[in-house]
Amino acid sequence: MDFKTGLLVFTFLAGCFAAPTLEAPEDDMAIFFDHTDASSRIVGGTQAAVGSHPHMVALTTGLAVRSFFCGGSLITQRTILTAAHCIRGVFSWGSLTSSLRATVGTNRWNSGGTTYSIARNVTHPHYVHNIIKNDIGILITSSNVALNNLVRTVPITYSVIPGGVRSRVAGWGRIRAGGALSANLLELFPTTLAGSDCEDRIARAAVQFNSPRAHVQSHIEICTFQATNFGTCNGDSGSALLRADNGQQFGIVSWGFPCALGVPDMFVRISAYQNWLRANVV
C-alpha cells in the first residue's frame, strides 16, 4: 500500500488522456494533491488473512501483461462499487478500455482468483474531477460472479457514520516510491473523524501543502485517521471502508494528501448516495 511520489498539485491523471487508447493506465496518482517526500509511504499496513476480505476486487488492464490500477468491492453478483476517478482513468473515446478486467477471490492481485470482463459502467452524474467530489461509480460485470468461501458480496449500510468508529480498509499498492506493487493484500484499522474535525484538519493541511482547492464536504465525504505512517494512498482508490465491528461498507477510498504523513484520508460517504445506488445497482 506504499506509493511513489513526485506529482505537482492537482495533476489529476493528465497523462491518462494524452493518448487515444488506454491499454495501460497510469498508476492511481490522481487522488493526492501533492507529493514532495520521496520516502512517504504506508508502513502501517499488515498482510490481510486469506478470505478476510472476500468482497475485494482488483481492477486491472493489459493483454499479455496485466497492470493493477484500483480496487473495488463486490456489492452484488454483477455490481462492483469503486471510485469515479478510477473509472475515468480507463475511459477513452466514449468507452472503457477493452482490456479492463475485475479479479475476485484472491489476496494477490496478479495471481489466483477468477477474472471477469466488464459490460458497462455508471459514474455519478455530478462527479467533479478537478476537486474529486461525488467520486462514486459502478462497474457491471458481463456475467454473474460465482460466490464461494473466498468471494462474497459486502453489505452496504446507509446509516450516517459518526466520528469515533473503528474501521477497516484493505488495498494493493506500491511498497516504496517507484517500486513494485505489493503482491499481497494489506489492511489498516483507522478510526473515523467527526465532520467538523475532519474539515478543520483538511483546511490546515490545505494551507500546509499549498492546495487551496482541497476541502471537505462532510455531508458527502468521511475521513479516517490512525497515526502518522498509517494510511491509504494511491492504488487503494476504489477500495471499501468497512465498519470493523460488523463488516458493513460505508465508504470508498477517494483522495488525500501526502501519504501517511499525519493527515486524514478521505472517503466517499456512501449514505449520501443511497438513491443513486439503488437506481443503478444490477
Tell me, yes or no, whether 171 and 242 share the same domain: yes
Q: Which amino acid is at 132?
A: I
> Of the candidates 92, 119, 153, which is a domain's last residue?
153
- Domain assignment present for 43: no
**What's the pLDDT score for residue 23?**
38
Tens of pLDDT, residues 62-103: 988 889 999 999 999 999 999 999 999 998 778 899 999 999
Q: Which residue has the higher pLDDT, 112 or 33?
A: 112
| C-alpha grid cell, residue 215 | 476541502
Of 98, 126, 153, the last residue of a domain is: 153
Using an 8 Å Cβ cutoff, are 172 and 185 in contact? yes
Identify whether the C-beta of residue 68 lies closer than 8 Å to the C-beta of residue 60: yes
| In-domain check, residue 2 | no
pLDDT of residue 60: 95
Q: Which three cell numbers mark 249?
A: 461498507
Task: Please say whether the beta carbons of 61 and 24 come within 8 A.
Answer: yes
pLDDT band at 3 (very low <50, low <70, confident <90, very high): very low
Across the chain, mean pLDDT equals 84
Residue 264, CA atoms < 13 Å, CB-side half-sphere: 27
* pLDDT tens per residue across span 153-209: 999 999 999 999 999 999 986 654 355 567 889 999 999 999 999 999 999 999 998
Q: Do 172 and 68 touch, CB atoms closer than 8 A?
A: yes
What CATH number is attached to the domain comprising 268? 2.40.10.10
Residues 222, 172 share a domain: yes
SS3 212: coil
* 242 membership: H or E segment, kind and range: strand 240-243
The reply to whether 131 and 217 lie within a common domain is no
- Pairing state of beta strands 91-92 and 191-192? unpaired
Does residue 8 fall inside a structural domain?
A: no
Domain that holds residue 182: 167-273
Q: pLDDT value at position 163?
A: 98
Q: What is the pLDDT of residue 95?
A: 87
Find the mean pLDDT for residues 106-135: 96
Distances from the Cα of 93 to the Cα of 21, 96, 117, 226, 276, angstroms: 8, 8, 19, 40, 25
- Quote the cell numbers at residue 204: 490546515
**pLDDT, greater one: 41 or 132:** 132
Of 95, 119, 153, the last residue of a domain is 153
On whether both 87 and 202 belong to a single domain, the answer is no
Task: Indicate the number of domains in the chain.
Answer: 2
pLDDT band for position 231 (cuts 50, 70, 90): confident
